[in-house]
């Protein structure tokens, strides 16, 4: 599993609020281009965000499905990308203090072409992408905190 980590200066509840807003998915997931629909009840297990991934005009219409969820602590997703396969993403939120949270994002190929590439090949591409994803989560969580205050 390829993992990145970021400490965000806000409590886990603020970060999970970003993850729990299915309509914000394309704002924090690098590569997601457009949200077409969000299942009612997102992010309960089995619910989906229906999205497009990739650059226009080569976008793929697919979905991301919740595999596991513990509010303010854990969100595990299967992100589908057409024939490219499925990525399993695990986001864990660990409180460091009252206003600091360590967010870990793990990524692994669950199905498709990427399963055949060694981690040494995928990691140089995915670590920066996943770090940017956590940077976006950070920005959204802080922005929401400032707006709510």
9 near 100, Cβ under 8 Å? Answer: yes
pLDDT tens digits for 115-130?
888 889 999 999 999 9
Give me the CATH number covering residue 139. Answer: 3.30.530.20
Q: In what order do the strands lie in the sheet with 86-97?
A: 2-8, 100-111, 86-97, 74-80, 60-70, 48-53, 32-38
Q: What's the pLDDT at 149?
A: 45
> pTM of the full predicted structure?
0.92
Q: What is the distance between the alpha carbons of residues 11 and 102, in angstroms, rounded to a whole number? A: 9
If you average pLDDT over residues 125-147, what whole number do you get?
Answer: 89
Residue corresponding to tokens 């619910």: 47
Count of domains for the chain: 1
If you average pLDDT over residues 10-27, what whole number do you get?
Answer: 96
pLDDT tens digits for 22-70?
999 999 999 898 999 999 999 999 999 999 988 888 888 999 999 999 9
Q: How far is CA 12 from CA 26, 74, 88, 127, 133, in A?
A: 20, 10, 21, 22, 16
Q: What's the pLDDT at 50?
A: 97
Q: Output the CA torsion sign for 124, 128, 130, 131.
A: positive
């Amino acid at each position: 599993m390829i993992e990145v980590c970021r400490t965000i200066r806000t409590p886990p509840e603020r970060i999970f609020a970003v993850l729990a807003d299915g309509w914000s998915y394309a704002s924090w997931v690098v590569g997601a281009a457009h949200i077409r629909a969000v299942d009612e009840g997102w992010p309960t297990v089995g619910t989906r965000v229906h999205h497009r991934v990739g650059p226009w005009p080569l976008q793929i219409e697919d979905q991301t499905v919740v595999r596991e969820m513990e509010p303010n602590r854990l969100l595990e997703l299967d992100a589908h990308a057409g024939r490219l396969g499925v990525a399993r993403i695990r986001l864990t939120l660990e409180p460091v203090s009252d206003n600091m949270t360590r967010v870990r994002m793990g990524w692994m190929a669950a199905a498709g072409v990427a399963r055949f590439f060694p981690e040494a090949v995928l990691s140089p591409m995915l670590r920066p992408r996943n770090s940017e994803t956590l940077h976006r989560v950070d920005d959204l969580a802080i922005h929401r905190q400032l707006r709510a205050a």
